[in-house]
Amino acid sequence: MLRYLLNRLLWIPVVLILLSLVTFVISRLVPGDPVKLAAGPQARPEQIEKMIEEFGLDRPLHEQYLRYMGGLLQGDWGYSIGNRRAVLPDLLTYFAATLELTVVATLLGLLVGIPLAVVAARWRDRWPDHLSRFVSIGAVSVPVFWIAIVLQLVFGQLLQWLPVSGRFDPRQSYPQSITGILLLDTLLAGNLPGFWTASRYLLLPALCQSLLVVALITRQLRGDLLEMLRKDFVMVARANGIQERILWSRYLMKNAMIATVSMLGFLIGFALGGSVLIEFVFDWPGIGQYATKAALLLDFQVIMGSTLFIGVVVVVVNLFTDLAYRLVDPRIRFS
């Protein structure tokens, strides 16, 4: 296992260097002048020239890239052309919001998807199975932004139960930042009203983002459970009088969850970098919205920083997912 872990860790820098190179080239090939956009239409030529020199855009491309990578090795992720702020602190702040949304959405998806899959496999081709298939197919067939808008209209405007945008009530004092995750920060501070407020703002975007998790988990786990039911060890267990409850919980679920764990790591990585639509519809201050606004302004420092940051997170998540195989099935050996 140690050899496998070292091999994976050695490949991480290679993947990130290739990712940074591709992102750097694409950000420079996109037509437009980020300096002129940041300086504004009233900027004088000497002001534009000064900004170009400040950000090193007057140097050759290879020198710009090496300079940027040298800064990364020293912990300097550069500065945004648009707001002149350091990129790394902003990335950590926005990522905390995206992480909170992703974790809650994934937990909601698991709480719904796993029981749906078990019910569908247990009562195959009956109405519970048909209902679970309807839910899973509908969750991925309907555009998520449309579902988000409908939920905003119903729960926000019509019923007025939940807020439809933002992360916290601006009329209340914002919780003290400890981890950047509001649910955790409010609990650590013993601020139960703040926890309730943060939960209300989080519920609708997390529900929308959990739909993909529900759909894929239900379909994957249902298929794996049905395949396990046809295995010889299941028939032997039933012939020996093992109760169905024990059979499903101890034998079937443990074997069927291996592929689900693998897919779950992919879903978490995808959600951390692909929740742009949900963040825009709900005005959620996450890293997806931060990177998209930077792309519209051609703020290449933020674009590269966001891409590399998400790349690091996805690689780490996939690494932990692979290691989690051993916990699900000790028979798996790493090589």
Domain ranges of the chain: 87-328
Q: 259 or 182: whose pLDDT is higher?
A: 182
Q: Indicate the residue type of 275.
A: S
Q: What pLDDT does residue 201 have?
A: 93
| 16 three-class SS | helix
CATH level 2 (architecture), domain 87-328: Orthogonal Bundle (1.10)
Report, as an integer, the average pLDDT of 121-149: 84
Closest by CA to 299, choosing from 7, 2, 55, is 55
| 86 three-class SS | strand
Q: How confident is the model at residue 198 (pLDDT cuts 50, 70, 90)?
A: very high
Report, as an integer, the average pLDDT of 116-140: 84
Tens of pLDDT, residues 5-26? 777 777 778 888 888 888 888 7
**What burial class does residue 213 get, using C-beta atoms within 10 Å of its C-beta: 0-12 exposed, 13-18 middle, 19+ buried?**
buried
295 vs 280: CA distance, rounded Å: 14
**C-beta contacts of 168-173 below 8 A and 24+ residues apart:** 168/194, 168/197, 168/198, 168/201, 169/197, 169/201, 172/197
Q: How confident is the model at residue 205 (pLDDT cuts 50, 70, 90)?
A: very high
Closest by CA to 163, choosing from 25, 290, 282, is 282
Q: How confident is the model at residue 200 (pLDDT cuts 50, 70, 90)?
A: very high
304 vs 67: CA distance, rounded Å: 13
pTM comes to: 0.83
Report, as an integer, the average pLDDT of 305-310: 84
Q: What pLDDT does residue 32 have?
A: 67
Report, as an integer, the average pLDDT of 267-276: 72
Report, as an integer, the average pLDDT of 316-321: 78
Q: Examine the pLDDT at 220 and tell me if it is beyond 90.
A: no
Instruction: Tally Cβ neighbours within 10 Å of residue 93.
Output: 15
Mean pLDDT of the chain: 82
Q: Examine the pLDDT at 272 and tell me if it is beyond 80.
A: no
Averaging pLDDT over each range in 24-28, 202-206, 218-222, which range is the top one?
Answer: 202-206
DSSP string, 183-200: HHHHHHTT-HHHHHHHHH
Q: Examine the pLDDT at 314 and tell me if it is beyond 90.
A: no
Q: Examine the pLDDT at 184 and tell me if it is beyond 70.
A: yes
Q: What pLDDT does residue 204 have?
A: 92
Q: What pLDDT does residue 130 have?
A: 86
Per-residue tokens: 27: 């950000």
